[in-house]
Structure 1
Amino acid sequence: MLTSERRVSDGGEDGDAVTSGSGGARHRAVGRGTGPRIRITGPRSAPTAARSADSGETDEISAGDRRPAGETRRLLVVVVGVALLVGVLTCLYGWTVTSLRPYGLPVLAAGPSGPARALAEQLTTTEPGTLRVRVVADGDAADRALRAREAYAAFVIGPSGLSLHVASAASPAVSEAMQRGIAQVMPTADIPVVDVVPNAPADHVGGGLSAGYLPLVLVVAVGGVLLSRTTARRGARLAGLAGLALTAGAAGAAALRYVLVVLPGSYWAAMGVLTLLGVAVAGTVLGLGARAGTVGLTGGFVFFVVAAALSAWSSAPELMPRPWGALGQLAPPGAGVTLLRSAAYFRGSGGGDAAAVLTVWAALGVALIMVGDTRGWHGRPWPRGRRGEVPVSEAPTSSAGFPGIPLPVEPTFPAAPGVAPGSAAGAQDRFLPDGRRV
């Protein structure tokens, strides 16, 4: 029952009181004035308990009514979002194949100055905007430029006539397109084709490396998602990223070089490229997940799926409409396949920009992981209790109630003469905030 009583100490004002419940936090409140205090001296009345029970039942029913609606809304978002994503990606990947044609493709015209310039002008004006022709002195200069990845093909005017020099290792699609195009322009001429930098013998059509590269990128991105869901500690995430990149790079290079035999050159160089690619892809996904949660993970994975379509992994950036080919080379999938071909076939020539792009993305991923866990960054440990449980060190120490209006706490009166402060007799005038006697 509720009673109103007024206790006045010898000083006339309500004193301070410090009370503590069993296992609870310690509270301190200062009484204001000498007005009446309301305290509970008995068990809660039946109507109040009934109202609380009814209120709890109502809350439970209303929460149950709301739960199916929220789940339905989330299911609709996922289903519609996945359907739209499937449609967009299907069109995007198909468009990157159906729209292939040269857009400023770098080629060479080699031979004596007069005939070479006339040939370059003819190639430039036949289909404006498709070829970017540069004149070099002879066939040897053209071959050196092809090995340095400065051009994809060269039209060489020699003593025996016109010949076509290509580097199919740079792009099998460009090599095939150039041979098909020159056959259409000069159907009656017998023009020999010299492959200066050919593909691996087991990859004569050039599709083995391309087919093995795309799954590698997507699986590494999935690995970043799994790492984000495995641990929440920054140090463990960095260690997991390093382990994932190293093992994925070693396994990918071994599969492409020793199992499929479509990747010549140094195994360690290929492993280094794929390891750097793994840090760039998985690190970015993991960092976005650490910083933005599920939204960051989803956005990062979708970004790399779209970037893989623009990477020209099976063709060349110059075969895609502008500016998509150039933009694809600024993302890890495009830079990775360019650097991998340069390391495997061209001794690193033409891979400097791609290496810089991968390094920047790898550094960005590591930086996102470092700043993703802001509590760990500032030195505060992760809570080890159950979800929603407040650690003891963070428990509130101030009195409950509205701001500036503390709950009324009964004052503590001086102990009677001859009674120890800690005895039961001395503690008979101490009450908890809910009115129960201590």
Structure 2
Amino acid sequence: MPHTPWRRLLGLGAGLAAVLTVLALAFLWPAVTSEPRDLPVAVAGPPQAVAPVAQGLDERAPGAFDVVPAADRAAAVRLIETREVYGAVVLGQQPEILTASGGSPLVAQQLAQLAPVLQQQTGAPVPVTDVVPLNAGDPRGAILGAVTFPLVIGGMIGGIAISLAVVGVWRRVAAVTAYSALGGLAVAGVLQGWFGALGGSYLVNAGIVALAILAVAGVIVGFVSVVGRPGIAIGPVLFLLVANPIASAAQPWQMLPVPWGAVGQWMPPGAAAALLRDESYFPAADTTTLWLALASWALLGLLLAVLGHFRDTGAATHAALEEASEDAAPELVSA
């Protein structure tokens, strides 16, 4: 048996090294480039007092915070609970730092570090109050910060397996829908019932996970229906190398370079992570955009699967008509 040519061996090594480099860049780039950028933070107090604090924050951390004025402490709390800000600085006779570790433990820690500075300026004690604390089952926010990776891998495995093992578009659609629904119930059961990392409604959380799985698996099934087996490669490239690194599950999306943080919230991993966090900790937040993002990806996959089915059906019908006309031609001539 002949040996593999050295040229081919070197080419294979170079190609694998390039793939490894791309993987490293995809997963390490967010950590290298992330830094506080325009993080919305409320400052509650009289207008004449808000401006100096905003200026002081900008001098302390240039470009890190985007100050949102609030009339009083109650207004600042409402802004936090609706996820319009990550925390607040309350001025007045009783200064206070309001944090929300349920929204971002990282930003909560940064805001807590402002308490000694504010205390030096006011001469009064400045307590730090965690308005939205993390659940006891996830005291450091590590589980929610890592939830996107298993969702992406689970969606990819299901989409690839169904594309290879199931024949027939409607059977594939039924299989990927059933897999996503059962996966949503199971994964949400583990995260909420076993680990205690999620709050809110179990069925809502299960629906979020199911939609995330369907968004990934359904798109893979859809692309396979349209372009054949090469469509399997689209899943790892799109969701694992592009969407997952910019999902911002463990940090605010504002910390990524523009526009990647915002783009990540429109892709399945980022939308799912943000939805699970909002449903667990911020039930008053407006989540319409996130639900729309997940539903759009899931619908895209199903539409691609159906499109591939009708394309194949049309091609088969055209081929059958051509074959029938070719068979009929000799008979007409002989007649």
User: What are the equivalent positions in structure 2 for 1:267-416 lying under 5 Å apart?
Assistant: 267-306=202-241, 307-347=243-283, 349-374=285-310, 377-378=313-314, 397=327
Instruction: Quote the offset at 1:211 in angstroms.
Output: 2.5
Structure 2 partner of 1:173: 106
CA contact (8 A) 1:139 1:156 kept: yes
2:195 maps to a residue whose letter is L
Instruction: Quote the offset at 1:84 in angstroms.
Output: 2.2
1:275 maps to a residue whose letter is A
CA 1:108–1:348 in structure 2 vs 1: closer, same or farther (change >3 Å)? closer
User: What are the equivalent positions in structure 2 for 1:84-163 lying under 5 Å apart?
Assistant: 84-161=18-95, 163=96
Offset from partner CA, 1:315-337 (integer Å, 9 cap, x none): 11011121111111121111111
Structure 1 partner of 2:135: 200
Instruction: Quote the offset at 1:160 in angstroms.
Output: 2.5
Structure 2: runs of 5 or more not aligned? none
Q: 1:259 aligns with which of 191, 194, 197?
A: 194
1:333 maps to a residue whose letter is P
1:331 maps to a residue whose letter is M
CA distance in 1: counterparts of 2:236 and 2:282, whole angstroms: 31
Instruction: Quote the offset at 1:98 in angstroms.
Output: 3.2
What is the DSSP-based 3-state SS (H/G/I as helix, E as strand, rest coil) of the residue aligned with 1:251? helix
CA contact (8 A) 2:105 2:141 kept: yes
CA contact (8 A) 1:150 1:350 kept: no
Instruction: Quote the offset at 1:191 in angstroms.
Output: 3.5
CA 1:246–1:144 in structure 2 vs 1: closer, same or farther (change >3 Å)? same
CA distance in 1: counterparts of 2:272 and 2:290, whole angstroms: 7
Instruction: Quote the offset at 1:183 in angstroms.
Output: 6.1
Instruction: Quote the offset at 1:140 in angstroms.
Output: 0.7
CA contact (8 A) 2:188 2:209 kept: yes
CA distance in 1: counterparts of 2:34 and 2:73, whole angstroms: 28
Offset from partner CA, 1:218-248 (integer Å, 9 cap, x none): 2212211111111231111110111111011
Q: Name the larger-Rg structure.
A: 1
CA 1:293–1:176 in structure 2 vs 1: closer, same or farther (change >3 Å)? farther
What is the DSSP-based 3-state SS (H/G/I as helix, E as strand, rest coil) of the residue aligned with 1:160? coil
Offset from partner CA, 1:44-83 (integer Å, 9 cap, x none): xxxxxxxxxxxxxxxxxxxx99xx89xx96x987765443
Structure 2 partner of 1:233: 168
1:179 maps to a residue whose letter is A
TM-score if structure 2 supplies the norm length?
0.86
Q: CA RMSD in A?
A: 3.2
CA distance in 1: counterparts of 2:311 and 2:34, whole angstroms: 49
Offset from partner CA, 1:344-380 (integer Å, 9 cap, x none): 2112613221111111111111110101124554495
TM-score if structure 1 supplies the norm length?
0.67
CA 1:322–1:277 in structure 2 vs 1: closer, same or farther (change >3 Å)? same
CA 1:376–1:99 in structure 2 vs 1: closer, same or farther (change >3 Å)? closer
CA distance in 2: counterparts of 1:77 and 1:396, whole angstroms: 47
What is the DSSP-based 3-state SS (H/G/I as helix, E as strand, rest coil) of the residue aligned with 2:200? coil
CA distance in 2: counterparts of 1:303 and 1:160, whole angstroms: 50
1:98 maps to a residue whose letter is V
CA distance in 1: counterparts of 2:229 and 2:162, whole angstroms: 13
What is the DSSP-based 3-state SS (H/G/I as helix, E as strand, rest coil) of the residue aligned with 1:271? helix
CA contact (8 A) 1:214 1:313 kept: no
Instruction: Quote the offset at 1:164 in angstroms.
Output: 1.3
2:26 maps to a residue whose letter is L
CA 1:140–1:187 in structure 2 vs 1: closer, same or farther (change >3 Å)? closer
What is the DSSP-based 3-state SS (H/G/I as helix, E as strand, rest coil) of the residue aligned with 1:269? helix
Structure 2 partner of 1:83: 17
CA distance in 1: counterparts of 2:226 and 2:195, whole angstroms: 38
CA distance in 2: counterparts of 1:361 and 1:342, whole angstroms: 20
Instruction: Quote the offset at 1:341 in angstroms.
Output: 1.1
CA contact (8 A) 2:115 2:127 kept: no
CA contact (8 A) 1:200 1:262 kept: yes
| Residue 138 of structure 2 corresponds to residue 217 of structure 1 | no
What is the DSSP-based 3-state SS (H/G/I as helix, E as strand, rest coil) of the residue aligned with 2:180? helix
CA distance in 1: counterparts of 2:214 and 2:146, whole angstroms: 21
Structure 2 partner of 1:50: none
What is the DSSP-based 3-state SS (H/G/I as helix, E as strand, rest coil) of the residue aligned with 1:353? helix
Structure 2 partner of 1:54: none
2:76 maps to a residue whose letter is A
Structure 1: runs of 5 or more not aligned? 1-63, 384-389, 401-405, 412-438
Q: Which moved more, 1:81-90 or 1:352-361?
A: 81-90
